[in-house]
A and B are shown apart, each in its own frame.
Chain A
């Protein structure tokens, strides 16, 4: 079965600093991978997805993620954090017709 592990349930960065949220996956087949963002009391919004077309995937709001098969990783980055990036971020992997989510990482932005 497919799974994802997000390292760090909470991450704090200063405004303007690099954002790095870590995700490792486990998959028996070439995976489809996703990053979703959730703002308080809202549903999930897709940031970006990896579908094997390119290993570096660019998403919305300046986020990007790199698929590294050798490291089974799909880390999410943003060069410069903004206060509006404070939210919960979920890495996910497609498992047949389902999506399996990680436990999430809450991103805090320090002024």
Chain B
């Protein structure tokens, strides 16, 4: 069990550029979640997948954000035309199949800085 991994760990970009983050969940975890965490706040839910299906999106997920999980394994989160307000830690988590308690296992996060 290698845990949830995220790449890159840090990303610095200029306003207006596009960025893409990757998350690899724990093997055989069928649910995958994306959260955003800003300084001094708890993680805020963005979206989640069950296998390859995106089941829910938060209103925080503007049309500049898109997430995919094409084969039900890894997932990508893309932010287009980045803004300074997008600067945050982006966390990925996964949940085992059949979990009744929705216990989520988190990756180390990708810290995005938009200049």
Contact = CB atoms under 8 A, between A and B. Distances in A.
Given A41-B111, A43-B109, A98-B56, A103 B42 contact: yes
Contacts, number: 60
Contacts of B101: 32, 49, 51, 94
B43 A90 contact: yes
A32 B100 CA distance: 9
B108 A90 contact: no
A98 B32 CA distance: 11
Q: Size range of the interface on B? A: 20 to 34
A90 to B, nearest CB: 5
B45 A99 contact: yes
B25 interface: no
Interface hub of A9, A34, A43, A104 (most chain B Cβ within 10 A):
A43
A43 B4 contact: yes
A108 to B, nearest CB: 15
A102 B40 CA distance: 11
A39 to B, nearest CB: 10
B97 interface: no
Contact of B42 (A42, A49, A94, A101): A101
Interface in B71-115: 91, 93, 100-109, 111
Contacts of A9: 40
A45 B106 contact: yes
A43 B107 CA distance: 5
Interface of A: 9, 32, 34, 36, 41-46, 49, 51, 90, 92, 94, 97-104
- Of all A-B residue pairs in the complex, the 9 with the closest CB atoms, nearest first, are A101-B42, A43-B106, A44-B106, A43-B108, A94-B102, A32-B101, A51-B101, A98-B45, A101-B43
12 contacts: A36-B106, A43-B6, A43-B91, A43-B106, A43-B107, A43-B108, A44-B91, A97-B31, A97-B102, A98-B45, A103-B42, A104-B42
